[in-house]
Amino acid sequence: MSEFAEFRAEVAAWFRDNRPPEPDFLLPESFMEVGTEQQFEYLRAWQRKIWEAGYLGMAWPKEYGGGGQPQAMQDIVNAEMARQKVPFVPNTIGLNWAGPLILAIGTPAEKQRYIKNILSAEDIWCQGFSEPDNGSDLAATTTRATRDGDAYILNGAKIWTSLGSYAKYMILLARTEPGSKRYAGLSYFLVPMHTPGIETQPIRKLTGEYGFTQTFFRDARIPDDCLMGKEGEGWKIAMMTLTFERGASGGQAGGIARQALNVHDTVDLARLARRDGRPAIQDPLMRDQLVRFLIEDQGDRLTAARGAIPGLTSERPHAIPLSQKLRTSEHRRRLLQFALGLQGANAARWMGDANAREGGKWQRAYFNSFSSTIGGGTTQIQSNIVAERVLGLPKD
Amino acid sequence: MSEFAEFRAEVAAWFRDNRPPEPDFLLPESFMEVGTEQQFEYLRAWQRKIWEAGYLGMAWPKEYGGGGQPQAMQDIVNAEMARQKVPFVPNTIGLNWAGPLILAIGTPAEKQRYIKNILSAEDIWCQGFSEPDNGSDLAATTTRATRDGDAYILNGAKIWTSLGSYAKYMILLARTEPGSKRYAGLSYFLVPMHTPGIETQPIRKLTGEYGFTQTFFRDARIPDDCLMGKEGEGWKIAMMTLTFERGASGGQAGGIARQALNVHDTVDLARLARRDGRPAIQDPLMRDQLVRFLIEDQGDRLTAARGAIPGLTSERPHAIPLSQKLRTSEHRRRLLQFALGLQGANAARWMGDANAREGGKWQRAYFNSFSSTIGGGTTQIQSNIVAERVLGLPKD
Amino acid sequence: MLSNRISFSGEQGMLLETAVGFCRERSPVSAVRALMGGADGFDPAVWAEMAALGWCGIAIPERFGGSGLGLAEVATVVEPMGRHLMATPFVSGQIAVQALLAGGHMALLPRIAQGAIATTAVFERDGDWDLAAIEATATRHGDHLRLEGVKTLVEHGGVAEIVLASVRLDGAPALAVLEGPFAGRMRAEAVIDETRRSFSLDLTGLEIPTASLITDPAAFIALRDAALLLSVAEAAGGIAGVLDVTVDYLNNRTAFGRKIGSYQSLKHACADILVGLERSRSHLYHAATLCGANEDAEVALRMAKAEASDVFANAGDRAVQFHGGFGFTWDCDAQLYLRRALWLQYSFGDAAHHRRKLADLLLGD
Amino acid sequence: MLSNRISFSGEQGMLLETAVGFCRERSPVSAVRALMGGADGFDPAVWAEMAALGWCGIAIPERFGGSGLGLAEVATVVEPMGRHLMATPFVSGQIAVQALLAGGHMALLPRIAQGAIATTAVFERDGDWDLAAIEATATRHGDHLRLEGVKTLVEHGGVAEIVLASVRLDGAPALAVLEGPFAGRMRAEAVIDETRRSFSLDLTGLEIPTASLITDPAAFIALRDAALLLSVAEAAGGIAGVLDVTVDYLNNRTAFGRKIGSYQSLKHACADILVGLERSRSHLYHAATLCGANEDAEVALRMAKAEASDVFANAGDRAVQFHGGFGFTWDCDAQLYLRRALWLQYSFGDAAHHRRKLADLLLGD
C-alpha cells in the first residue's frame, strides 16, 4: 500500500482544502433524505467538484468519464471522505446501482449516453422498485409495461422514490407479461422521467420534511430501447442491481453515500451535552448504555469482517448477510432514541431551534431511523427471514 | 377496626411465640414446591398448630371445625402471618379451592366428612385439571369418567399435580359425556387418591427437586357420590372453584399460601450482598434496576386497588383481571433473574452450598419462577389473551 | 411499605365524563392538525368554553372565584386532553395556580379562574431539570427588583398574561410573578411536539415590585408536583390514544393475506403497551389521591412520571413502526403521539432522572 | 477507532474441525447427564484422549512438551466443548498455563502438557471479581512462605494436581504455585452448573518455597485474559447449542394445530438469539486474534465477555420458557444450558461489571 502513500496525502489535502463551507441549513444524512432544492443543489455541486477533481469513478473506464485507475485509489478516496466527514455525494442510485449495471450489461451507446452524466451529477437517477401496496415484496410488482410497436406503455405507481423530484432517469421494475405471477414476467427499464404520463408527487415524511416521492405512470410511452436485458429478465437484473448496492461485487463509482450519525458521534454528544447539570458522559447509566451500543456496533463491524472467513461461517453461511439489516437498522433506531436523552430538557427541541444541539439533527435522525426499520422489509419481516431462512423455523 | 385491636395484639404475640424453629433444610415458597417428606411434615405440623390455636378457618362454620367468627378476624391473622413472614400453610387446594366449594354446594354429609380434616391438614388435597397434552386448555380435557352402576370408571392422566404424592383427595375435572366437545360434557369429582388404578409419578423439576406429580387413571372405580353438582356441570363448577382461588368472592379458610421472595426482599438482598467489593445497593445500575422493579411492583399493587373503582376501569373492564398473570409472572421472573446478579461471583452457587446466600434460595426461586410464566397458560398465551380479549385484535 | 390508596370522588367521575366527551368532540385529529399550523396552537373559542365550564378555576378556592376542588380533579380532566392531543394553555396555567397557592400569592387567581393564560418559566439553556439550578437573578434596587437572565421552554409564552419565572435572589431560589405584555421578550422556539408552543423569555431589564416575588420554597415543590402530576395525566391519556390509533390500524391493514394485528410480534407489543397503560393510570390516580389530600406525594409522582413517560415514548415509537410505510409519513397520526410523548418524557425530568431520585428516596444514598 | 481484525489460521481450521467432531461424539447429552451424577464430573478416558490429541499442550512451547501454538488455538477447541456441555478440566488448566507462562514459571508445563490437571484459585468468600482483592496471605518464614486464608470457586479442585492460588505478599498480589495432593483442604461446593465441580481451598498452614510464588503482575493479566477468552468461547458454543435444542423443539412441537415455531413471539426471539450468537462469535475470534498476537486485548475481551454472557443467559432463559411444561422438568436439556450460562455469566465478572470497566477504558473516568 505504500505505493499510494503520496496519493493518500494528496487526497487528504484536497478534501481539507476543498470541503464546501458548512451551509446555514441542515444537510441530509443520505440521498434518501434530500428534501429541498437548497440541499440538492449544494450536494450536486459538491459531487460535480469531486468528479472534476478526478476523485469519483476513478476505477470506471476513461472513455465514459471515469478515471481508468485501480480500485485501490478510489478506496483511499472513500476512506478519506469518511474520515474527514465531508458531505456525501447524492447521485447514489446512479453511482451505485444504475452505473455499475450499465457498465456491466449495457451497450456502448448506453454507456456513452449515461455514465459521464451520472458521475458529474448532470443526470440524477432514481429507483422504482417498491409499490404502494406491496411494501418491499418486489415479486408482487403490479406496474405494467405493455409493448406497443417500438415502445412500451407504462401504467401503475411506485412509492418511496428518493430524489424523485430531481431525477432525470429511473430504473424501473415492471410486469411485461400480463397475468404472470411473482418473479416471472418482470422486466427492467431505464425510464426518462420527463416522459408525458409520468408524474411525481412528493411525500411528506414524519419529520415534516420531504424526501421521497410517489411516482404515477398513466399511459406513459417509452421507447423500447429503454429495456435492459431481455423481456422477462427483470428479476434477475434487479437482483444483480442489489448486488451492486451491497457492494458485494464492487463496480460502484465510489464516494460516500451517507454521512450518518453513528455511535462515535453519540459518544461525542455525551461529552458535550449536559443532563442533570453535568456532562452526560459522567452519568453511570448513560455510560453503561453507551458501552452497550459500542459493543453492539463493534460486534457488527467484526461480524462483517468474520463474514469473509469461510471457516468461521460455514455452518450457517447466510446468517451474516441475511441478518445484517435487522442488526444494523434496529441498532441505529435505539441508538438515536437514546441519544435524545443525553440532552436533558433540550432533547425536546426540534430542527431550526437556536438552542437545539447541532440544529436538531439528532431529533431528525431518530425520526428518520424508521426508514430503515420499515423500508426494504420491516424489522418484523427481517426477523421472519432470519428465523425461517437461516434457522429453518416454519412460516407464519 | 379498633374493636379488633386487642385481638390483633394477641395474634401478633402468638405468632411471635409459636413460630416454628428455622429448619436446617430449605423451605419451599408455596405448596406447589413441596418436594420432600421433611418439608411436607414440617409445614403440615405448622398448619395443624395454627388451626388448633383457632387461627385457621376462623370464618368457617363451627360445626365443621371452623371458628364461626367474622372474616375480619381471619384477615387480621393473614396480615400478621405475612408481616411476620412465618411459613405458609400447605393444604392450599383444600383451604382455598375444595373447602370453599364444598361449603358452598356440598351436602351436610360432605361438609362433615371433609372440612375439619382440610383445616387440620389431616387430609391433604390436590387438583387434577391440567393434562399432559392440553397445557392449560381445560376445555380440552380428555380424562374420562364413565358411569357404571353406582360408580364411575376413570381413565386418563393429569399432570402438574402439586402435593400429588401426599394428597388423600383430588378435585378432578373429567369428561362424562363421550364425544362431547369443549366445555360441554365435563363433570367435577372429589376423588379418593387411594382408589386402586390411581397412580402418581413424581416429576423432577428443572431445579432438581420434586414437587409435582403426574397422575394416571387406569380403570379406577370411584363411588358415584364423588360427583359434585350434576353431570355436565363440571365446567361451571371449575370456574366457581377458580373464583375461590382468585379470592374474588372470599370463602377461603385463610392463612397464607406462599412465602415467596418479592421486590422488598430483593432490596434487602442488595443491602447485604456484595458485588465489585461493595454492597450491591451502592451500584448506580443496580439502584436503577431496583427502582424499576419497585415502580412495577407498586404499579401492580395500585392496579389491583384501582380495579375496585368502576369509574376508573369502565372503558376496558377486563383489562386488569385478564392482564394480572402476565404482569405479575413476568415481573417475578425478571426480578429473580436480576437478584442473582446482586451477588457477584456468589451468584453461581446453588442450594446446599455453605456460602450460598440464604441457602441458595434465590437461585432456586429464579428457576421456579418459570412455573408461573409457563404453568396456567404461558406468557405467550397470556399476551394473546390480553391482545385479543381486551384489545380486540385478531386471533393468530 | 408504600400506601396503595386510590380515591376517586363523585365529582371526579362527573368531571371525567364531561371531559371525555368534550375532548372527543372539540379535538378530533383534524382539528389538532389544523391548529398545528396556526401561530398560537390552540383554538380561543375552545379555550373560552373550557373557562366557561369552570375548569380554569377547579383548583382555585371559592373565595378567589374558583370551585375549591384540588389538583386531583385537575388531573382528571387533563387525562382525556392528553388522549385527544389537545394543547390549550390549561396545564401551564394550572401549574402556575399551584405555585401561587403554595406561595400565598392570591391576587392573580381570580383572573386565572376567568381564563387568563398563565405559565411558568423555570428552565434555562443548559436543560437542567433541577428547579434550583437557576442562573437568572433578581437584585434589589430600592423597593424594586431588577431581573436578569434568559428562561427557556416557556409553554404558551406567546399568549401568556401571567408568567412565574424562577430567579435567584441573594442566592436563594424564588419565583418572580410577572404580568404581560411580554412583547419583544418572548422568542418562539422550535420544539418536538408541534401541537405545542414554546418560547424563550429574556428577563434582563425587567423591574418588578418586591411583593411580586415568591420566596417560600413550598411554591417550588407545589410547582414541581403539579407539573409532574399533570404531565403524567397527559401521558396516560396519550398512551390510551396512541394505543387506539395503533389497534385500529392493526385491525384493518392486511399483509400476506392476514390482518396484521394477528401477528404476535405486533399484538404482543400492544398487550405490553396495555399493561403499561394500566400501570400508568394506577400510578396516576394514586399520586392524584395523595396530592389531593395534601400528603407528601414525591415518591408517588416520580414513580408515575418514570412509568408513564417511558411507556408513552415506547408506545409512540412502536406506533410509528407498526404503521409501516404509512407510519413514516406526516399524514399518519402515530408521529403526533410520538412527538407528544417525547415532549413529556423530557419535560420536568425523564424516567432515568426520576429513578435516580427515587433510588435516593427509597434505598438511601 | 478499534481494530476489527480477525485472523483464522489453517491450524485453527483443522483444530476446529477435529474438536467439533470429537465433542459431538464424546459428549452426547446422555453422557453429559451421566457424568453429572459422578463425583468428578468428567470422564477420565475422554480426558486421556484429549491429552493424547495434544490439546493440553496447544499453548505450551515446544521445549516444554507442547505444540507452541497460542491461546487463539485453545479458544478454537473450547467453543465446541461449550456447545456440547463438556466439562473436563481443560479450561481451568489452560488458564493456569497462561499464568505460568506469563509469570515465567515453566517447571510444571511439561506435566500439564501430558495431562496433569491444573486449576486456579483466585476468588474468595465475598465474591469480588477484582483479582487484586485478596484476603489470603503469604508471609515469609526463612526461605519458605507460610500461607493463610480460604479460596473459593476452585474449579476441579478435587482432582487438581496443580493449583495457582492468589495471595497477598507484603501487600502485593502474587500467585502461589501449589502441588497436590490437597487432601483435607478441598471442600466441595454446590454450584449452579451441575456439569461442573467446584471447591473451596483452605490454604492455612501450607508452606511453600519462595520460588513457588509468582510475583510478576503480568501473570494476573494473563490469567484474567485467558479466563475471559475461554469463558467467551464456552459461552459462544453454548449459545449455538441451546439455540439448536430450542429450534429443534419449536420445529416439532405442535399447539393449536400449528408448529409452535411458526408463532412470531417464539421465532423472533430465536432470530434475536441468532443475532447475538453471530455478534458473540465475532467478538470471540477478534479477541482471540489479539490474544494470539500478544496485543493488548483488554477492551476486546471485556466486550466479548459482556456480549456473550448476556446473550447466553438470555438464550438459556428463553429456551426453558419456550419448551413450555417440558422446559420446567429436569429432563429437558434447556436447563442444562441455562445453568451453564449462569455459571459463565458470574465467573470472572458479569456483563455489567465489564461494561463498567469498558466505560472507564473507552469513555474516560
* CA atoms lying within 13 Å on the CB side of residue C331: 6
Tens-place pLDDT, residues D175-216: 999 999 998 999 999 999 999 999 999 999 999 999 999 999
Whether residue C187 is contained in a domain is answered as yes
Nearest CA-CA distance, residue C363 and chain B, Å = 8
Reported pTM: 0.95
Instruction: Give the pairing type, strands A169-175 and A186-192.
Output: antiparallel
Interface-testing mutation among B285, B289, B395, with chain A (most A C-beta atoms within 10 A): B285
B337 contacts on D by Cβ (under 8 Å): 313, 317
CB C289 within 8 A of CB C5: yes
Q: Is A1 on the interface with B (CB under 8 A)?
A: no
Interface-testing mutation among C36, C125, C128, with chain A (most A C-beta atoms within 10 A): C128
CB D58 within 8 A of CB D73: yes
> In tens digits, what is the pLDDT along chain C, a chain of 365 residues?
799 999 999 999 999 999 999 999 999 999 999 999 899 999 999 999 999 999 999 999 999 999 999 999 999 999 999 999 998 999 999 999 999 999 999 999 999 999 999 999 999 999 999 999 999 999 999 989 999 999 999 999 999 999 999 999 999 999 999 999 998 999 999 999 999 999 999 999 999 999 999 999 999 999 999 999 999 999 999 999 999 999 999 999 988 789 999 999 999 999 999 999 999 999 999 999 999 999 999 999 999 999 999 999 999 999 999 999 999 999 999 999 999 999 999 999 999 999 999 999 999 97
Determine the Cα–Cα distance for residues D217 and D172; give it in Å rounded to an integer.
Answer: 9
Q: Is B285 on the interface with A (CB under 8 A)?
A: yes
Q: Does D341 lie in the same domain as D267?
A: yes
Q: Do domains A3-122 and A126-236 have the same CATH topology?
A: no
Determine the Cα–Cα distance for residues B154 and B138; give it in Å rounded to an integer.
Answer: 17
> In tens digits, what is the pLDDT along chain A, a chain of 396 residues?
567 899 999 999 999 999 999 999 999 999 999 999 999 999 999 999 999 999 999 999 999 999 999 999 999 999 999 999 999 999 999 999 999 999 999 999 999 999 999 999 999 999 998 888 776 677 889 999 999 999 999 999 999 999 999 999 999 999 999 888 888 899 999 999 999 999 999 999 999 999 899 999 999 999 999 999 999 999 999 888 877 766 544 578 888 888 899 999 999 999 999 999 999 999 999 999 999 999 999 999 999 999 999 999 999 999 999 999 999 999 999 999 999 999 999 999 999 999 999 999 999 999 999 999 998 889 999 999 999 999 999 998
Whole-Å CA distances, B394 to A264, A378, B145, C261, C263:
43, 20, 36, 6, 9
Q: Does C45 lie in the same domain as C29?
A: yes
In this complex, the residue of C8, C247, C363 whose CB is nearest that of residue B393 is C247
Determine the Cα–Cα distance for residues D4 and A157; give it in Å rounded to an integer.
Answer: 43
C265 contacts on D by Cβ (under 8 Å): 264-265, 268
Mark which of C216, C239, C258 sits at the end of a domain: C216
Whole-Å CA distances, D344 to A261, B101, B274, D317:
35, 49, 18, 14
Whether residue C2 is contained in a domain is answered as no
Confirm whether A245 is a catalytic residue. yes
Whether residue C5 is contained in a domain is answered as no
The residue of chain A with its CA nearest to that of C199 is A353
Q: Is D4 on the interface with C (CB under 8 A)?
A: no
**Hey, how many other C-beta atoms are within 10 angstroms of the C-beta on D364?**
10
Sign of CA dihedral B65, B70, B75, B76: negative
Beta-strand runs (E) in chain D: 118-121, 137-141, 144-148, 150-155, 162-169, 172-179, 186-189, 198-202, 207-209, 213-214, 254-255, 258-259
Q: Does D240 lie in the same domain as D349?
A: yes
Determine the Cα–Cα distance for residues B305 and B314; give it in Å rounded to an integer.
Answer: 14
Fill in the amino acid letter for D118. Answer: A
C-alpha cell at C234: 397527559
A284 contacts on B by Cβ (under 8 Å): 284-285
Q: Does D262 lie in the same domain as D171?
A: no
Whether residue D2 is contained in a domain is answered as no
DSSP code string of C18-65: HHHHHHHHH--HHHHHHHHHSSSSS-HHHHHHHHHTTGGGTTS-GGGT
**Hey, how many other C-beta atoms are within 10 angstroms of the C-beta on B107?**
11
pLDDT of residue A308: 94
| Domain range annotation of chain A | 3-122, 126-236, 263-390
Mark which of C179, C200, C216 sits at the end of a domain: C216
Q: Does C140 lie in the same domain as C111?
A: no
In this complex, the residue of A159, A274, A333 whose CB is nearest that of residue C128 is A274
Nearest CA-CA distance, residue D161 and chain A, Å = 35
Nearest CA-CA distance, residue B292 and chain A, Å = 13
Query: Which fold, A263-390?
Result: Butyryl-CoA Dehydrogenase, subunit A; domain 3 (1.20.140)
Determine the Cα–Cα distance for residues D283 and A305; give it in Å rounded to an integer.
Answer: 11
Q: Is A357 left (phi over 0), alpha (psi -120 to 50) or beta?
A: beta
**Hey, how many other C-beta atoms are within 10 angstroms of the C-beta on A62?**
10
User: Average pLDDT, whole number, for chain C?
Assistant: 97
The residue of chain B with its CA nearest to that of D260 is B380
Largest CA distance in chain D: 78
- For residue C13, count CB atoms less than 10 angstroms from its CB and return exposed for 0-12, middle for 13-18, buried for 19 or more: middle
Beta-strand runs (E) in B193-350: 198-203, 212-223, 227-228, 274-275, 278-279
Instruction: Give the pairing type, strands B169-175 and D144-148.
Output: unpaired
Do residue B393 and residue C364 have CB atoms under 8 angstroms apart?
Answer: no
Q: Does C231 lie in the same domain as C342?
A: yes
- Cα Rg of chain C (Å, integer): 20
Under CATH, which architecture does the A3-122 domain have? Orthogonal Bundle (1.10)
DSSP B205: B
Q: Work out how many domains chain C is built from and give that number.
A: 3
The residue of chain D with its CA nearest to that of B366 is D317
Identify which has the larger pLDDT, B368 or B245: B368
CB B77 within 8 A of CB B38: no
CB D260 within 8 A of CB A372: no
CB B275 within 8 A of CB D345: no
Tens-place pLDDT, residues B372-392: 999 888 999 999 999 999 999
Q: Subunits that touch chain A (at least 3 Cβ pairs < 8 angstroms)? A: B, C, D
Q: Is B394 on the interface with A (CB under 8 A)?
A: no
Q: What is the extent of the structural domain holding C112?
A: 10-116
C-alpha cell at D245: 435444542
Q: Does D194 lie in the same domain as D277?
A: no
Q: Does D297 lie in the same domain as D198?
A: no
Determine the Cα–Cα distance for residues B112 and B121; give it in Å rounded to an integer.
Answer: 15
The residue of chain B with its CA nearest to that of C263 is B396
Cis before D209? omega within 30: no
User: Average pLDDT, whole number, for chain B?
Assistant: 93
Q: Does D328 lie in the same domain as D292?
A: yes
pLDDT of residue B293: 98
DSSP code string of A135-193: BT-GGG---EEEEETTEEEEEEEEEEEETTTT-SEEEEEEE-STT--TTTTEEEEEEET
D138, β-bridge pairs: D147, D169
- SS3 percent helix, strand, coil of chain D, rounded to 5, is 55, 15, 30
Q: Does C316 lie in the same domain as C243?
A: yes
CB B95 within 8 A of CB B169: no
Question: Which residues touch D184 (CB under 8 Å, ≥6 apart)?
Answer: none
Q: Is B304 on the interface with D (CB under 8 A)?
A: no
Do residue D330 and residue B208 have CB atoms under 8 angstroms apart?
Answer: yes
Percent over 90 (pLDDT), chain B: 86
Determine the Cα–Cα distance for residues C84 and A351; give it in Å rounded to an integer.
Answer: 25
Q: Does D45 lie in the same domain as D164?
A: no
C-alpha cell at C301: 409522582
Q: Spot the catalytic one: A177, A231, A233, A245.
A: A245
Helix orientation angle between D334-345 and D29-36, rounded to the nearest 10 degrees: 70
**Hey, how many other C-beta atoms are within 10 angstroms of the C-beta on A9?**
11
How large is the ipTM? 0.96
In this complex, the residue of B204, B333, B378 whose CB is nearest that of residue D329 is B204
Class of domain A126-236: mainly beta
DSSP-based three-state secondary structure for D119:
strand
Q: Does C159 lie in the same domain as C107?
A: no
- For residue A134, count CB atoms less than 10 angstroms from its CB and return exposed for 0-12, middle for 13-18, buried for 19 or more: middle
